Amino acid sequence: MPRPRVTSRMTTTQVAKQLGMKTGQVVSWVERGALPPPSFIDNNGVRYFDQEWLRKAKEIVKSKRGDAEGSDASTTE
């Protein structure tokens, strides 16, 4: 009987929720290079992400959203 694996890896759906994005957006951003590549891809092509990846991704998403908000604010000054 296989033992369950204890891991801190998250799926694309899980990181999408953490980032406030849709799963397809995360995949698209990774494929375009806007977000780093997955921490691990299994033999079936399933992407997994670790806590360090999530930390970096949160910074990137925050900066990109900040840029968009900043451009709106600068036009009202």
For residues 51 and 38, is the Cβ–Cβ distance under 8 A? no
Q: Which domains are present in the chain?
A: 10-75 (1.10.1660.10)
Per-residue pLDDT tens over the stretch 6-64: 468 999 999 999 999 999 999 999 999 999 999 999 999 999 999 999 999 999 999 98
Distance CA 43, CA 40 (A): 10
pTM: predicted TM-score of the whole model, two decimal places? 0.74
Distance CA 50, CA 39 (A): 6
**How many angstroms separate the Cα of 64 from the Cα of each of 2, 32, 41?**
43, 14, 26
pLDDT at 73 over 70: no
Give the helix/strand (H/E) hosting 40: strand 40-41
